[in-house]
Structure 1
Amino acid sequence: MGRNWYLLWSGSAISALGDGIFLAALPLLATTITQDPKLIAGVSFFGALPWLLAALPAGAAADRYDGRRLLLAALWVQCALMALLAMFHSAHIAFLYGMAFLIGTAENVPRAVGQPLIKATVENHLLERANGRLFASQAVALQFVGPPLGGLLFVIAVPAPFWVNALTFAVAALLVSRMRTERKVPTARPKAREGLRWLMEHKALRTITVVSATTNLCIAMTMATLVLFAQQRLGLSGAGFGAFLATLACGGVAGGLLAERLLARYRNTVTATVVLIPLMWLGIVTVAHDLVTVAAFAVVSSFCTAVWGVATSSFRQRVVPTELLGRVSSAQTLITWGVQPVGALLGGLTADYFGLLAPWYVAVTLRTAVGLLSLKSLRTHVRVSSEEKATSWPRP
């Protein structure tokens, strides 16, 4: 892994720090405007809605244009949007919805170009290591450092976390600008739907997509009113809410760093994560009444999520043709992330009508059912090669 990889990795980690700050600060900002669970869930809904609308066009652009230039443009746009949010933070809740939508739209581009850029800067046999480090650094920045910092900055001054977030995107853009990659000549306009069709024809990727989409739907359901869960069930303040989110990072860091070794040594690693994740959620909602207990379950859940992410990302980068990688990745993003606005809406409505614990019970039930139905397919197609240290599925 050379200079380009480390610049890309550093830029990703710094921008993830800003995302972590934003993750805690935006719902806290919403609670200063309203305490209505439906309206607060609306912030998550509009923030996730662009994954349905912009994922496929972003993937087509990633396969057609120079990925580094697209990434730079997206980072500067996000920087400008964060500065705008900082300046008008006391506006109506509808303004928060609009800003969440625009920021989510801009985020589609880095996610689409990230997969091709990683593949272009890392040798094939090092993909697990690269993805593991990427997951670990993002877990530290996005979940461990970012949310507590966002909560603390919010307590100091309401616009402070958004100004710091703008700064992180600017620094990330400067790092990416130092990458020296071969300039890509724009190709003929690719068809965005080709990536979706390729994804649907690949049995293993199709199974992975269903499991990942269900997981994200369930997470969106619980995250939509998580700030109220933390305040009312755990009695946490703004800074405490940031610390609550940070507990998720501990397992994510360990999972990212250990994924390469676990996938090479244990054949059933991937299927084990499928079973353990909903069990941890069940523990959170049934026996966890304080931050320490919640953290114990959350660490195991985030560990499994990171291992699953490393395995599936590395697999996708290997089996998808380079000229289709942006579109296939975005097609998978469309499905797996596009369900989040639905989850946020369902989570808000469920919490409003049945209480703050209801979304957790629904999430556990749904994720358990889909996970159990997917186990046979995953066991059939997963092949662990000790030489490659990777999961390997047959092509369609």
Structure 2
Amino acid sequence: MLTALRSDRTASRSEPLGPVFRLYQSAVVTSDLGDGMYRIAVPLITLGITHSALSVSLVGFAVRLPWLVATLPAGVVNDRATPVRVMRAASLLRLVLLAAMCALAFLGELPLWLLALIAFGIGCAGTFVDVGAQSALPRLVRPEQLPKANATVQSAQTLLAQLLGPALGGVVVALGSGQGLATVAVLYAVTVVALGRIPSAPAAAPPASPPAGAASLRRDASLKSLTGELAEGLRYLGGRPDLRRLALAGAANNLSYSISLTLLPLWAVAPGPLRLPQISYGLLLACLAVGSVIAGPFAGRTIDRLGQGHVMRYGGFGLGASYLMLAVPSVPVVAAGLLGYGLVCIVWNVAVVSYRQTTVPSELFGRVNAGYRWITWGVFPIGSLLAGALAEGVGLAGAFLVAGALPLLAAVFLPVRGLVESTA
């Protein structure tokens, strides 16, 4: 019986993911290509206004603050409504805000404070899109296809958002900030169109049963308040030691990422130590994606060979070592560090996301996922502020060393234990 069940699951994994998934993938990857260009455009536009480390970190704080304040509400909304509809509405709002920023940039009327304010609004809308994307995927494919679907999406996301996005963003912004933002607006418009073609109510995947010891939770949206629903998801997350440790390890990694990526333009772009022109900075940052693109097609097989638990337990050592390399004032060494980070991060992310999707009950997934992301993403704005303080206190190289130490310490003192078997 077990052999037959495994054979059925293996056969299901090899089946095509279907036309609805392809529409979903088109929406997600065009959104992420736009995000990749947008994330390179904003710091470069900021550098065109000021070279103050504190000012750069404050704009980075505004860009990342939505991950702290909007993630939990996004989870509740995605549980109450169809995630694809949430993604569609949020994508449209994001497009309108970006069009306003683009118009102001063309007119030369985009001061630093207004750039930060609009970026905050775009980030809030983008948070609803991102939370909705992970909540929607288990409804679009069968549970046994999730590792394949996640690897497919994340490989494409990485190629476009981290490889082509930064490279194109650096080139286009070098021609003018308005042109760069206009290109992003076109991509966001394609996302809205693709989401509009996905059926409004795709068949939901069978709900995953909670692991042993976890209470079976149900909700009645008409009776429970927003606060009550948030608390329900957070209680479930708090009752899972495995998810708590994964969330804290992810937070340590993202704090390091935020510190490093906030300061990297000052380190890399002339007159910084690497002395790169703006057009080359996007190419340097694209090294992040090269590693992920290399690892992406093999992520599922790597996880099968090494074991999902081992990947989640020991990935932090590779991530920390990669951050430490950024402190060396050498373009090849920094590029190698970014490449190594991309190699490790894609495999670790596929393992962690697939684990959450197959062990959290589907009726709670939006809120639990939002709570998880609130912990892991909420450190991004903190990292941006901390980056400015570290740069002023210990210098840019010292800040990169601190960033590298955080994932290493998390891997040592927060080993992931108590993993449960997939119940999907």
- TM-score, length basis structure 2: 0.86
Q: Which residue of 2 aligns with 1:224?
A: 262
Q: Which residue of 2 aligns with 1:69?
A: 85
Q: Which residue of 2 aligns with 1:388?
A: none
Q: Which residue of 2 aligns with 1:123?
A: 142
Q: Which residue of 2 aligns with 1:43?
A: 59
Q: How does 1:104-253 map to 2 (within 5 A)?
A: 104-182=123-201, 187-188=221-222, 189=224, 191-231=229-269, 232-253=272-293
**Aligned-partner residue type, residue 81 of structure 2:** Y
Shift of 1:254: 2.4
**Whole-Å Cα distance in 2 between the matches of residues 276 and 81 of structure 1?**
38
Shift of 1:367: 2.1
**Aligned-partner residue type, residue 290 of structure 2:** C
**Whole-Å Cα distance in 2 between the matches of residues 194 and 281 of structure 1?**
36
CA RMSD of aligned residues (A): 1.9
Q: Over residues 137-194 of structure 1, what are the superposed CA-to-partner deviations in whole Å (9 max), with x where a residue is unaligned?
A: 111111110111111111122201111111111101111111124279x943561221
CA contact (8 A) 1:199 1:205 kept: yes
CA contact (8 A) 1:56 1:193 kept: no
Change (3 A) 1:254 1:93: same
3-state SS of 2:201 partner:
coil
CA contact (8 A) 1:135 1:253 kept: no
Q: Does 1:345 align with 2:385?
A: yes
Q: Does 1:13 align with 2:34?
A: no
Q: Which residue of 1 aligns with 2:10?
A: none
**Whole-Å Cα distance in 2 between the matches of residues 243 and 154 of structure 1?**
13
Q: Does 1:363 align with 2:403?
A: yes
Deviates more, 1:89-98 or 1:311-320: 89-98
1:32 corresponds to which of 38, 41, 48:
48
Unaligned runs of 5+ in 1: 384-391
CA contact (8 A) 1:131 1:256 kept: no
**Aligned-partner residue type, residue 167 of structure 1:** V
Q: Which residue of 1 aligns with 2:210?
A: none
Change (3 A) 1:265 1:311: same
Q: Which residue of 1 aligns with 2:72?
A: 56
CA contact (8 A) 1:224 1:344 kept: yes
3-state SS of 1:179 partner:
coil
**Whole-Å Cα distance in 1 between the matches of residues 102 and 57 of structure 2?**
21
CA contact (8 A) 1:381 1:394 kept: no
Q: Does 1:303 align with 2:303?
A: no
Shift of 1:116: 2.3
**Whole-Å Cα distance in 2 between the matches of residues 179 and 120 of structure 1?**
12
Deviates more, 1:81-90 or 1:317-326: 81-90
Q: Does 1:270 align with 2:312?
A: yes
Shift of 1:353: 2.8
Count of aligned residue pairs for this structure pair: 382
Higher radius of gyration, 1 or 2: 2
CA contact (8 A) 2:154 2:296 kept: yes
CA contact (8 A) 1:11 1:171 kept: yes
Report percent identity of matched pairs: 30
**Whole-Å Cα distance in 1 between the matches of residues 158 and 142 of structure 2?**
23
Shift of 1:393: 6.5
Q: Does 1:99 align with 2:137?
A: no
Shift of 1:381: 3.2
CA contact (8 A) 1:20 1:141 kept: yes
Q: Which residue of 2 aligns with 1:289?
A: 330
Q: Over residues 224-249 of structure 1, what are the superposed CA-to-partner deviations in whole Å (9 max), with x where a residue is unaligned?
A: 12111112121111111111110100
CA contact (8 A) 2:256 2:323 kept: no
**Aligned-partner residue type, residue 370 of structure 1:** A
